[in-house]
Structure 1
Amino acid sequence: MPQSLARVLIHTVFSTKDRDAAFQDAAFRAEVHAYMGGCAKTLDCLPIQIGGTADHVHLLTTLSRTLAVAEFVKEVKRVSTNWIQKRGGLFQQFHWQAGYGCFSVSESKIAAVARYIETQEEHHRKISFQEEYRELLRRHGQAWDEEYVWD
């Protein structure tokens, strides 16, 4: 019987709508990250490292061989948004930004990317999310338009 195999690693980054600092509470942020890991698993995408700060998230995962990147991001955002909004209060209006960045990761770089995601708090004491995102885009040779990248 023929077998289809794939090992595709992706680093996905997106922010809260208008970069709202919705996850200031570290315990809640950890819950959100764990929930997103569960969303990834449900999609047959192995979560390797998930982290971020009060206004954005990084996901290092595998990508299922039967799923497009856009489907993966759309579903993780949709399901996590519903879960966050059910928390009530100010979270009833929660949304992720419309866009995202998704970058390929070499097998040899898993540990470095995981560490980068793990140390987001420290990293963002030095640079803003926008500076970080621009640098990711530059490193991956991706052109962008400032007018549209921050929706």
Structure 2
Amino acid sequence: MRYKHNKVSVYLHFVWTTEDRLPLITPDIERDLYRCVQEICLTHHCEVLAIGGMPDHVHLLLKMSPTISMAMLMKEVKGGSSRFVSERLKPGEWFRWRAHYGVFSVTPKDRERIRHYVQNQPAHHADHDLIESAEQSEIETDG
């Protein structure tokens, strides 16, 4: 079988935290922060399927583009969004992400379940969801 175009179908679930896990993602900036993250992803041809989080971390489910690496995407997302918050949403206030992040591959079969998990973070945290526990241990052991 011949393909005229590359076919890439890679779904990833990213998780990253604020510096020292401080509750810096307040309700007054949350929506604009997520919009900024989404715009950065779109600039790099990544399709955002879900974004959500808590005051100290963000979850992002997306379809990756073959034109950018995971590491470069996270550098762009974290750098661009922290500048956006510090310069536009809360000028003069300190906002920084922790250097590390977690990334997990998502099968097509699990995509909808992970999308729901990402979009419903407060409920999952109230239930102490097992996915969160696994992600937390991955992030904490990475540094």
Query: TM-score interval w.r.t. the shorter chain?
Result: 0.7 to 0.9
> Residue 30 of structure 1 aligns with which residue?
31
- One of 13, 17, 29 as aligned partner of 1:15: 17
> Residue 114 of structure 2 aligns with which residue?
113
Aligned-partner SS, 2:126: coil
Deviations 1:58-117 (A, max 9, x none): 000111112111011111001101101112356x31100100001100111111001001
Instruction: Give, as a single letter, the amino acid of the residue that structure 2 aligns with 1:136.
Output: E
Between the aligned residues of both structures, percent identity stands at 26
Higher strand proportion: 2
Deviation at 1:5, TM superposition (A): 2.1
Gaps of 5+ in 1: none
> Residue 50 of structure 1 aligns with which residue?
51
Aligned-partner SS, 1:30: helix
CA pair 81-2 structure 1, distance change in 2 beyond 3 A: same
CA-based RMSD: 2.4
Equivalenced residue count is 140
Gaps of 5+ in 2: none
Aligned-partner SS, 1:50: strand
> Residue 135 of structure 1 aligns with which residue?
134
CA pair 68-57 structure 1, distance change in 2 beyond 3 A: same
Deviations 1:22-48 (A, max 9, x none): 1232x4212211221111111110000
Tell me the distance in 2 between the aligned counterparts of 1:135 and 1:17. 20
Tell me the distance in 1 between the aligned counterparts of 2:65 and 2:10. 8
Aligned-partner SS, 1:99: strand
Contact 1:9 1:62 (C-alpha < 8 Å) held by counterparts:
yes
Tell me the distance in 2 between the aligned counterparts of 1:97 and 1:69. 16
